[in-house]
Chains A and B, each alone.
Chain A
């Protein structure tokens, strides 16, 4: 995944956070997504001001003990949210 991509939420999604995991619902497009705690953190950071690389860096700094996992898990969570139509890139 290109680390220089900027990430935004697609419009129309409803968010619910339960015990750190997220569920996203787009009632009109009938999309339902369940995301891990990693996906939940990613979602919160995808406000159009950060790139993929910046998000990985930010979370690696916040959770240094999990930095190795974050290198893989965060791009995977971003890709999942893009594939499901919840994130857009530029």
Chain B
């Protein structure tokens, strides 16, 4: 068992906080690396996770004092914290709309990549970050009901094995964290030292779909088409009296929206950069 000073961390997103406490230096290091840009001051927490080393390789996790899991590897423990913690943060927010989306900033122009798992948004976000854009998130964005700017859950970028080419030439293998699900957690600063961005005014809303072998196809969406698609990515609609409709509609009014079908990252990145650079 590891002996050391307990570290308390507070992970913030969409107006809520989860607390994580552990005395294990590996756990503390992993949190400080992969949640670094989501960490903040002590705040009332909707859930408190305690991760304890029970032997040389195993960890147990309790949530709000109830033991949940034991004999977890570090990778499994971090994966659980990422999944369960984010689910709780998303579901609890009644002040911010939460959308499944990656987000970046290019010359202070916010770019939203909206889509569910498998649409390729994390890989595209990583590629654009490596190309010099600022990074907000690869997973979920939040929009406060009365504000114009969006924020992101600025965790490490979670990439599937097939996307390793994005980071392989930019950083050493030993700086990448591999939980047991074969994904790679890549700190955005490894791709671009100035990447993290706290919030931005959205200007472009994209619905990308990776299709192997497809040429780049783009289609401009009407505001209603964009709203229809955006609402499908809204995670916490039930928390708002109007289902989040008015705030989501406001967002679609302030952006240009497109669908994107692509296979070549270089080509789509060029198109996104050019589109974001237009006045």
Residues in A lying within 8 Å of B, measured CB to CB? 14-19, 21-23, 25-28, 30, 32-35
Q: Does B238 make an interface contact (CB < 8 A)?
A: yes
A23 to B246, CA, bound (A): 11
Question: Which of B240, B244, B249 is the most central at the interface, judged by chain A CB atoms within 10 Å of its CB?
Answer: B249
B242 lies within 8 A of chain A by Cβ: yes
Most central of B223, B224, B242, B244 by chain A CB within 10 Å: B224
Distance in angstroms from B96 CB to nearest chain A CB is 16
Residue B253 lies at the interface, judged by CB distance under 8 Å to chain A: yes
- Given known pairs A14-B245, A18-B253, the reply for A34 and B237 (CB within 8 Å) is no
Asked if B245 and A21 make an inter-chain contact with CB atoms under 8 angstroms apart, the answer reads no
Q: Give the CA-CA distance A17 to B245 in the complex, in Å.
A: 11
Given A18-B253, A19-B222; A34-B243 close (CB under 8 Å): no
Q: Which of A17, A18, A23, A35 contacts B231 (CB 8 A)?
A: A23
Interface check B228, CB cutoff 8 A: yes
User: Which residues of chain B are near A15, meaning CB under 8 Å?
Assistant: 245
CB closest chain-B residue, reference A13 = B243
- Known A-B contacts A27-B237, A30-B237, A32-B228; the reply to A21 vs B222 at CB < 8 A is yes
Q: How many residues of B contact A (CB 8 A)?
A: 19
Contact A34 B228 (CB under 8 A): yes
B225 interface residue, CB < 8 Å from A? yes
Asked if B232 and A14 make an inter-chain contact with CB atoms under 8 angstroms apart, the answer reads no
Q: Which of A15, A23, A26, A30 has the most CB of B within 10 A?
A: A23
A30 to B240, CA, bound (A): 13
Chain B residues, Cβ within 8 Å of A25 = 231, 237, 242-245
Q: Which of B206-249 contact A (CB under 8 A)?
A: 222-225, 227-228, 231-232, 237-238, 240, 242-246, 249
When the two chains form their complex, are residues A22 and B244 in contact, meaning their CB atoms are under 8 A apart? no
Which B residues lie within 8 Å of A35 (CB)?
224
Whether A18 pairs with B243 at a CB distance below 8 angstroms is no
Known: A21-B225, A23-B231, A25-B231. 7 other contacts (CB 8 A): A17-B224, A18-B223, A19-B222, A21-B222, A27-B243, A34-B225, A34-B228
Q: Contacts A27-B240, A28-B238: A19 and B228 contacting too (C-beta < 8 A)?
A: no
Q: List A contacts of B22 (CB < 8 A).
A: none
* CA–CA, A34 and B252, complex, Å: 14
A34 to B244, CA, bound (A): 16
Specify which of A16, A26, A27, A30 is in contact with B227 (CB 8 Å cutoff). A16
Question: Which interface residue of B222, B231, B232 has the most chain A CB atoms within 10 A?
Answer: B231
Residues of A within 8 A of B228 (CB): 23, 32-34
A14 CA to B242 CA in the complex, in Å?
A: 6
Give chain A nearest CB distance to B45 CB in angstroms. Answer: 27
Please give the distance in Å from A86's CB to the nearest CB on chain B: 13
Chain B nearest CB from A10 CB (Å) reads 14
Asked if B238 and A18 sit within 8 Å, CB to CB, the answer is no
